[in-house]
Structure 1
Amino acid sequence: MELFYYAVFGGLAAVVAALELSKTNKDRINTSTAFNSFKNNYLLVYSLMMAGDWLQGPYVYYLYTTYGFGKGEIGQLFIAGFGSSMLFGTIVGSLADKQGRKRACVTYCITYILSCITKHSPQYKVLMLGRILGGIATSLLFSAFESWLVAEHFKRGFDQQWLSLTFSKAIFLGNGLVAIVSGLFGNLLVDTFSLGPVSPFDAAACFLAIGMAVILSSWSENYGDPSENKDLLTQFKGAAVAIASDEKIALLGAIQSLFEGSMYTFVFLWTPALSPNDEDIPHGFIFATFMLASMLGSSVASRLLARNSTKVESYMQIVFVISSASLLLPIVTNFLVAPSKVKGGGISFSGCLQLLGFCTFEACVGIFWPSIMKMRSQYVPEEARSTIMNFFRIPLNMFVCIVLYNVDAFPITIMFGMCSIFLFVASILQRRLSAIAEKPKTEDWAMMKETDTEGEPLNVM
């Protein structure tokens, strides 16, 4: 079966290379030299930040086991991380809007470096502190950097469409190429050089420190609403009012929570799904394959976002339906293919089918990230961007905590079925968002027609 893994990886690599090399002028966005310099600076920082994050991921659970902690204690540590992100995320998001997004990005680096340092201690309380710091850092990673980018992009007078280019490149590099290289580099440190399971965290701290130096030396500060008379409670109320009063923002938040909740659940479920009888599967290689599929998705997204005729609100409906169908495969194969009772061995036939489905889901993830960023830049108000984005993460983190707490209580097919339903609901909400997004244009045309009937001339070329 080793040939199967190589065939999937090689096939995905060939498709990604073909997509990137076959881009025409229609698939590219013509930009300025000033924008390219700005974009490359951000991509460098974002890639360093994601390297710091990806290096840690594969070794957190393993490190805890080497310290002698059981599954229950490790589960509590993971819940602490997501719970911290849920409880403190909105606060740090509001502080980013008020105190400055650059300052928040630097805070992310410092907080995550401190979290890495705690991994040197086998003490449970110290590791718990590290998880709490990591949860706070995660909230900043997924709000402050994007908020800084959007504000700085428009402050410098760049074209709005160019923003989608930065988003797609950031996901292609940060969530694709950097993830693959980070996994291989971490494996080199732990297995080849035998530096121990804490070495990837030390390497992550180094990358974060380099990124922080670039931010301090080359980024300017920007704010949401820096009004002196606005405290945190007022900012929370303002963000809540914005979500409640604008259906587009509320729908966007629901869509994000449903998709990301399913995505994080998938992260916990793919290993037992592919090896239900303790089959010997190459976890690192499969992870790299998933990241390659995500790169494929981001490459497709860059083409779609480059075309003015293609609306992100429209094609994301299809993406959510495909992602929903792909997570139904474990349920379908469970009914159609007789499950093996043999312990160990290589991946089964049903596992091969599921792996292909999971790669399809990861490709949808690659399309999702730049597309949701694009929609957030259009609909989320600038003055409370970080606050609102972290509001969106509250139900997400709550859902993941519940899943982690009850991961052994339900069969894996039930969990995948729940995720598939969530994704299908996301497609319905996306359809509603697409319909609402078209309304202002219709209303504007109606007003123009009304003005015309009242005798005012219309200057239509």
Structure 2
Amino acid sequence: MELFYYAVFGGLAAVVAALELSKTNKDRINTSTAFNSFKNNYLLVYSLMMAGDWLQGPYVYYLYTTYGFGKGEIGQLFIAGFGSSMLFGTIVGSLADKQGRKRACVTYCITYILSCITKHSPQYKVLMLGRILGGIATSLLFSAFESWLVAEHFKRGFDQQWLSLTFSKAIFLGNGLIAIISGLFGNLLVDTFSLGPVSPFDAAACFLAIGMAIILSSWSENYGDASENKDLLTQFKGAAVTIASDEKIALLGAIQSLFEGSMYTFVFLWTPALSPNDEDIPHGFIFATFMLASMLGSSIASRLLSRNSPKVESYMQIVFIISSASLLLPILTSFLVAPSKVKGGGISFSGCLQLLGFSTFEACVGIFWPSIMKMRSQYVPEEARSTIMNFFRIPLNMFVCIVLYNVDAFPITVMFGMCSIFLFVASILQRRLSAIADKPNRRLGHDEG
């Protein structure tokens, strides 16, 4: 079965390489030297930020077990992280719009570095503080950097289409290549050099500090709402009214919550799905395979976004349907393939089928990120961008907390079925968004005729 893992990884690597090498001028966007310099600076910072995040992921649960905590206590720590992101996310988003996005990005670095330092303590309260700090940092990572980029991009007078180039490259590097390298580097620190499970967190803190130095020395500040007399509550209400009064923004928020909720649930479910009888599976290698599939998705997205047709609103309907179908595989295999009763051993036949389905889902994730960023840049108003983006994360974090709390209460097939339904609903909402987005153009064409 080892050959199967290598075949999937090698096949994905070959397709990614072929896609990248076969790009023609039609697939490339002609840009300026000034833009390339700006883009490369952002990509360097974003890659360092994502390295700081990815290095920690595979070792959080493991570290807590080495400190002697059980599944219940670890679950509470994880819930604290998502709960913190939900409670403080919108507040830090509003502060980012008001106090400055560059300042918010620096705050992310400081908060996450402090969270990494807490991992040295085996004290439950200190680790809980670390999770709360980590939750705040995550809110900033997924709002402040994108808000700074979009504002700075237009402030410097760059073409709107060039923004999609930065988005797709950021996902290709940050959520693909950097994730794979971080996984291998973490493995090197913990297993090869035997530096212990805290070492990836120390390495993450170093990368975050380097990124912070680059932000402080090369980024200019930009703001959302320039009005000084608006307090936090007024800003918060304004963002809520904007979402409620614009169906496109409300739909975008619902689509994002449904997809990301399914994605984060999948993160918890793929391990037990592939090893229901404690099969011996190479977690690190499978994680790297998923990240490679995500790179494939972002490579496809960069081609789609560089062209005027099909529009992002149209092709995302298909992406959501494919992702919905891919997460139905664990349910289908449970009916169609006889379950193995043997404990341990290698991955089963149904596990192999599911791995292919999960890789397809990860490719959809790779398409989703730059595409949703592109849609947000079109529909979300500049003055409250960070606030609104963190508003979108409230239902997501609430959903993940509920799933984490009840992870043992439902069979794994029910969880996957729920995610599949959510993704199908996202495709229906995307269809509605596409119809609304087309209306002004049709009216304009009719008036001109």
Q: Partner of 1:15 in structure 2?
A: 15
- In structure 2, distance between residues paired with 1:222 and 1:170: 20
- Between the aligned partners of 1:227 and 1:49, the Cα distance in structure 2 is 30
Q: Deviations over 1:381-418 (max 9, x none)?
A: 00000000000000000000000000000000000000
In 1, the alpha carbon distance for the partners of 2:448 and 2:241 equals 38
Q: Distance in 2 between matches of 1:334 and 1:71?
A: 26
Partners of 2:300 and 2:26 lie apart in 1 by 13
2:183 and 2:146 mapped to 1: Cα distance?
24
Q: Is the CA contact 1:111–1:136 (under 8 Å) kept in the aligned structure 2?
A: yes
Query: What residue is the counterpart of 1:273 in the other structure?
Result: 273
Shift of 1:308: 1.2
- Supply the distance in 1 between the matched residues of 2:448 and 2:90 (Cα, whole angstroms): 46
Q: SS of the counterpart of 2:391?
A: helix
- Do 1:314 and 1:434's aligned partners in 2 also have CA atoms closer than 8 Å? yes
Q: Deviations over 1:141-171 (max 9, x none)?
A: 0000000000000000000000000000000
**TM superposition score normalised by structure 2:** 0.98
C-alpha distance in 2 between matches for 1:246 and 1:228: 25
Name the CA distance, whole Å, in 2 between partners of 1:24 and 1:152.
Answer: 29
User: C-alpha separation between the residues in 2 aligned to 1:339 and 1:156?
Assistant: 59
Shift of 1:242: 0.4
| Alpha carbons 1:113, 1:208 under 8 Å: kept | yes
Percent of pairs with identical residues = 96
1:460–1:76: structure 2 CA closer, same or farther, 3 Å change rule?
closer
Q: Is the Cα contact below 8 Å between 1:154 and 1:160 reproduced in 2?
A: yes
> Is the contact made by 1:165 and 1:302 (CA closer than 8 Å) also made in structure 2?
yes
Q: Give the Cα–Cα distance (whole angstroms) in 2 for the partners of residues 206 and 407 of structure 1.
A: 34
Distance 2:309 2:417 in 1: 35
- Please give the alpha-carbon distance, in whole angstroms, between the structure 2 residues aligned to 1:107 and 1:113: 10
Q: Displacement, 1:34?
A: 0.2
Residue 310 of structure 1: CA displacement? 2.0
* Equivalence for 1:185: 185
Paired with 2:41 and 2:60, the residues of 1 have a C-alpha distance of 30
- Give the Cα separation in 2 of the matches to 1:420 and 1:41: 38
The residue aligned with 2:444 is none
CA contact (8 A) 1:89 1:140 kept: yes
Offset from partner CA, 1:104-145 (integer Å, 9 cap, x none): 000000000000000000000000000000000000000000
Separation (CA, whole Å) in 2 of partners of 1:255 and 1:83:
21
How far does the alpha carbon of each residue in 1:168-225 deviate from its partner, in whole angstroms, 9 at most, with x for none?
0000000000000000000000000000000000000000000000000000000000
1:226 deviates by: 2.6
Aligned position for 1:349: 349
Q: Normalized against structure 1, the TM-score is what?
A: 0.96
* 1:280-332 residue CA offsets vs partner (Å, 9 max, x unmatched): 00000000000000000000000000001220000000000000000000000
Offset from partner CA, 1:37-58 (integer Å, 9 cap, x none): 0000000000000000000000
Q: Give the length in aligned residue pairs.
A: 443
| Aligned equivalents of 2:58, 2:232: Cα separation in 1 | 36
| SS in structure 2 at match of 1:25 | coil
Distance 2:397 2:253 in 1: 13
Call closer, same or farther: CA 1:124–1:22 in 2, change over 3 Å: same
Q: For the Cα contact (< 8 Å) 1:99–1:226, is it kept in 2?
A: no
Between structure 1 and structure 2, the one with the greater Rg is: 1
Q: Does the residue aligned with 2:448 lie in a helix, a strand or coil?
A: coil
Aligned to 1:335: 335
Task: State how far apart, in whole Å, the 1-side matches of 2:399 and 2:246 are.
Answer: 24
Q: What CA distance in whole angstroms lies between the structure 2 residues aligned with 1:332 and 1:251?
A: 30
Instruction: Report how far residue 460 of structure 1 moved.
Output: 8.1
Unmatched 5+ stretches in structure 1: 441-458
Partner Cα separation in structure 1 for residue 296 and residue 251 of structure 2: 27
- For residues 438 and 239 of structure 2, what CA distance do their matches in structure 1 show? 24
Give how far 1:263 is off.
0.0
Q: Whole-Å Cα distance in 1 between the matches of residues 193 and 10 of structure 2?
A: 27
Structure 2 CA distance for aligned equivalents of residues 401 and 295 of structure 1: 28
Instruction: Supply the distance in 2 between the matched residues of 1:341 and 1:135 (Cα, whole angstroms).
Output: 40
User: Hey, what's the Cα distance between the residues in 1 that align with 2:362 and 2:20?
Assistant: 18
Runs of 4 or more, structure 1, over 2 Å off, are none
Deviation at 1:227, TM superposition (A): 1.2
Q: CA deviation at 1:228?
A: 1.2
Counterpart secondary structure, 2:31: coil
Name the CA distance, whole Å, in 2 between partners of 1:360 and 1:411.
Answer: 23
How far did 1:351 drift?
0.2
**Whole-angstrom CA distance in 1 between matches of 2:118 and 2:173:** 28
Cα pair 1:167 1:373 within 8 Å, conserved: yes
CA offsets, 1:258-285, max 9 Å, x none?
Answer: 0000000000000000000000000000
Counterpart secondary structure, 1:27 = coil
Q: Secondary structure at the match of 1:26?
A: coil
Are 2:448 and 1:460 aligned?
Answer: yes
Worse overlay, 220-229 or 40-49: 220-229
Whole-angstrom CA distance in 1 between matches of 2:227 and 2:125: 39
Between the aligned partners of 2:434 and 2:222, the Cα distance in structure 1 is 31
| Whole-Å separation in 2 of the counterparts to 1:92 and 1:341 | 50
Q: Distance in 1 between matches of 2:407 and 2:28?
A: 44
Q: Are the equivalent residues in 2 in contact too, given 1:280–1:347 (CA < 8 A)?
A: yes
Quick check: 1:274–1:354 contact (8 Å CA) kept in 2?
yes
